[in-house]
Amino acid sequence: MKNGWQIVPMGQLCSIKSGKSDTKDAVEDGAYAFFDRSRTIKKSSRYLYDCEALIIPGEGTEFLPKHFVGKFDLHQRAYALFEFSDRIDVKFLYYFLHHLCDYFPRVAVGATVKSLRLRHFEQLPVALTGLPEQQRIVGILDEAFEDITTAKANAEKNLQNARALFESYLQSVFTHRGPGWMEKPLGSIATFRNGINYTKDSKGESIRIVGVRNFQKNFFAPLDDLDTITIDGKLSEMDSLKQDDILAVRSNGNIELIGRCLLVGEVTDKISHSGFTIRIRLAPGEVLPSYLCHFMKSASSRKRLTEGGTGTNIKSLNQGMLSALTVPFPPVSAQKLIVEKLEHISEETKRLESIYRQKLATLEALKKSLLYQSFTGKL
């Protein structure tokens, strides 16, 4: 460590106390900020502190501080650092705690939910230098972090715009139709079959299976990343997946997943799909499977499928709802051109997303580098 720096336990630099409130004390129209274990700052009708403070969750997986000045309420599983010594600048300590972000996860106790004790705060080793140097460092970090925050916001906006570009074109394909288009209910051009059910006690053939976890935002079923399960008896031909089958999520607690679909590529071994999904198999000739999969991923189709989900806790989509879905389509030759265009735009979108994600990662790495330099006396 550079000359003039020393290590001081944080308990010597400020008062540290936990709150007294519970989650039920949060109110929507409260006059005061209420800090608990989440990232979101809630509201309370009372306050426990009126000061400048750094607030840190006492439980969870992320223990990063929030800086606040004024009246606030505090959860019993959160801690406030306040009444700071004149030896330390509050923002300097704020940035230092971000620099030492791995400390609290390392010392937190508990097998299921990690939690902190008062000693973990009091014993935290703070790298301290003189107050003028602290204020110089804070000034540099304030300016740099403001620029980084702006750059990250722009990158995130560009990332959203890249996704929106594809979604907009996808939707326009099915709303701005030309001559030769037709409309048919999906049930007139496809057959359906629910996936197979099994339990941990099933005894029979071991197969690979496409489950809800495999959907995410994929277009093709990730056949190289499937779970292997044991079913009762042997897999029937009717339950085996084939190339160009389409799978849709049938049942899930999250309604946003209902109707999410995947296209099955080349199948080289025995693969089936779980009972929480429905297989759609098109009759050959009128509609291309890749075209239908794009259509089912469009905003209008997704809305119809999610709104059609039934159930209170577990939302479900049945074969009747899928059968009634109206599918607009042009001649097969035009479908091929549409799919090619969509695939081109999709690849371009992924390329842009990769660029913006890399920029976000670079900005985050820059923050860590600046913090490291600041608290090792190299700034």
**CATH code assigned at 288:** 3.90.220.20
Give the pLDDT score at 150.
Answer: 94
Are residue 212 and residue 295 in the same domain, yes or no? yes
Are residue 51 and residue 88 in the same domain, yes or no? yes
Are residue 13 and residue 123 in the same domain, yes or no? yes
pLDDT tens-digit readout, 347-373: 988 898 899 999 999 999 999 999 999
Are residue 84 and residue 143 in the same domain, yes or no? no
Q: Give the pLDDT mean for 157-177.
A: 85
Give the pLDDT score at 310.
Answer: 52
User: In a 3-state reduction of DSSP, which class is residue 59?
Assistant: strand
Are residue 157 and residue 26 in the same domain, yes or no? no
Among 164-178, 229-243, 338-352, whose mean pLDDT is lowest? 164-178
Q: If you average pLDDT over each of 37-41, 317-321, 338-342, which comes out highest?
A: 338-342
Give the pLDDT score at 167.
Answer: 85
The whole-angstrom separation of Cα 221 and Cα 227 is: 13
- Backbone φ and ψ of 180, nearest 5°: 90, 0
Give the pLDDT score at 312.
Answer: 47
- Going by C-beta distance under 8 Å and a sequence separation of 6 or more, which residues neighbour residue 46? 21, 25, 32, 73
Are residue 164 and residue 121 in the same domain, yes or no? no
Contact yes or no for 340/198 (Cβ under 8 A): no
Are residue 138 and residue 189 in the same domain, yes or no? no
The whole-angstrom separation of Cα 275 and Cα 277 is: 5
pLDDT at 213 over 50: yes
Tally of domains in the chain: 3
Single out the residue in 129, 148, 170 at which a domain terminates. 129
- Backbone φ and ψ of 363, nearest 5°: -65, -40
Q: Give the pLDDT mean for 293-317.
A: 74
Q: Let me know if residue 49 belongs to a domain.
A: yes
Q: Give the pLDDT mean for 281-290.
A: 94
Are residue 250 and residue 322 in the same domain, yes or no? yes
- Going by C-beta distance under 8 Å and a sequence separation of 6 or more, which residues neighbour residue 5? 127, 128, 129, 377
pLDDT tens-digit readout, 66-106: 999 999 999 999 999 999 999 999 999 999 999 998 899 99
Using pLDDT thresholds of 50, 70 and 90, give the confidence band for residue 308.
low
The whole-angstrom separation of Cα 369 and Cα 373 is: 6
Are residue 237 and residue 123 in the same domain, yes or no? no
Q: Give the pLDDT mean for 160-174.
A: 85
Would the pTM count as exceeding 0.75? no
Q: Of residues 312 and 250, which shows the higher confidence score?
A: 250
The whole-angstrom separation of Cα 116 and Cα 93 is: 18
Give the pLDDT score at 38.
Answer: 87
Using pLDDT thresholds of 50, 70 and 90, give the confidence band for residue 216.
confident
Q: What percent of the chain has pLDDT over 90?
A: 66
Are residue 114 and residue 13 in the same domain, yes or no? yes
Q: Let me know if residue 342 belongs to a domain.
A: yes
**CATH code assigned at 364:** 1.10.287
- Going by C-beta distance under 8 Å and a sequence separation of 6 or more, which residues neighbour residue 128? 5, 6, 7, 8, 13, 87, 88, 134
Q: Let me know if residue 1 belongs to a domain.
A: no
Give the pLDDT score at 314.
Answer: 47
Q: Let me know if residue 270 belongs to a domain.
A: yes
CA dihedral of 179, 183, 188, 192, whole degrees rounded to 10: 110
pLDDT tens-digit readout, 27-50: 999 999 999 988 899 999 999 999
* Average model confidence (pLDDT) across the chain: 90
Domain span holding position 377: 131-178+331-379
Q: Give the pLDDT mean for 328-357.
A: 92
